[in-house]
Amino acid sequence: MSASVTANVYSSHVPAIGAAIDQGKATGPYWDPLMAGYETSKAWIKENTPDVIFLIYNDHANAFSLDLIPTFAIGTGPDFPIADEGWGPRPVPPVKGHPELAYHIVQEVIPEGFDLTIVNKLEVDHGLTIPLTLMFGQPDEWPCPVIPFAVNVVQYPIPTGERSLALGKAIGRAIRSFPEDLNVQVWGTGGMSHQLQGPRAGLINQPWDNAFLDQLIADPETLSHMSYVEYLREAGSEGVELVMWLIARGAMPDMEGADAPTVRHRFYHVPASNTAVGHLILEA
């Protein structure tokens, strides 16, 4: 009896998507093509609701400010309130955690050399809630517990690609050694190319994003050697969020010798707000 990583879900986490859905305005020529890309995913997750989601995202100075910047923070609490990002908390259900699995991961991964920050009280921002909304719509309660895993991609130095992939592998091993039959999905959020500030604000790089998706699927090892300078140059200052997708990818069982994952769904749409939206579902 042990837990397994059954799938990866990757998604951008553009806050305007949440604002549009929350206000009942996510229709019409601007939003329809984007929402259509998540219809398959919503149907898929109804059939494939996991027992737990391990959700890798970045906090955007909501739970953590420049006063305290953990590189890797794991939410070990039983519940995670929705952060107020300036307009009141999003009207979505609070997120319930899975302290037993979260602490198991802490106990396995820290001795492997990844100094996770243990966060018992954590408010979660759009980085975590937008992908939940895109996948599950607007339920009264989220259908399963979520372990938040926040990564610093705001204040340099940020984690390298190599370290991100290696961390993902350690997380995958930890999940698979949890002595309970849990179906765990590992989600990676953020990206794709976008820059929200400065002279290059609005930058989007479609060929680069699609090459990133190709390589994330087929050759994450090579992809992990890309330096943060290339993310910055090619995908923009907030495009560096994509390094978190390597953590999620590392947790898949093919990294430990199992068969390559199956691409269940792949979607790319430009733009939502200032961002290229990428979305991918990989099944183990």
Residues that bind ligand DHB (CB under 6 A): 13-16, 60, 190, 194, 196, 238, 273-275
CB of 103 vs ligand DHB, minimal distance in Å: 29
Q: How far is the CB of 14 from ligand DHB (least distance, A)?
A: 5
- Least gap, CB of 219 to ligand DHB (angstroms): 25
Going by C-alpha positions, the residue among 71, 9, 75 that lies closest to residue 42 is 9
105 or 130, CB closer to ligand DHB?
130
Count the helices and strands in the chain (H runs, E runs): 10, 10
CA angle 269, 147, 78 (to 5 degrees): 140
Residues forming the active site: 126, 194
Cα gap 195→197, rounded to integer Å:
6
Nearer to ligand DHB, 13 or 173 (CB): 13
| Whether 120 contacts 78, CB under 8 Å | no
Closest CB 221 distance from ligand DHB, rounded Å: 26
CB of 16 or CB of 270, closer to ligand DHB: 16
* Closest-CA residue to 71 (of 110, 123, 19): 110
Which of 189, 275, 271 has its CA nearest to residue 235?
A: 275
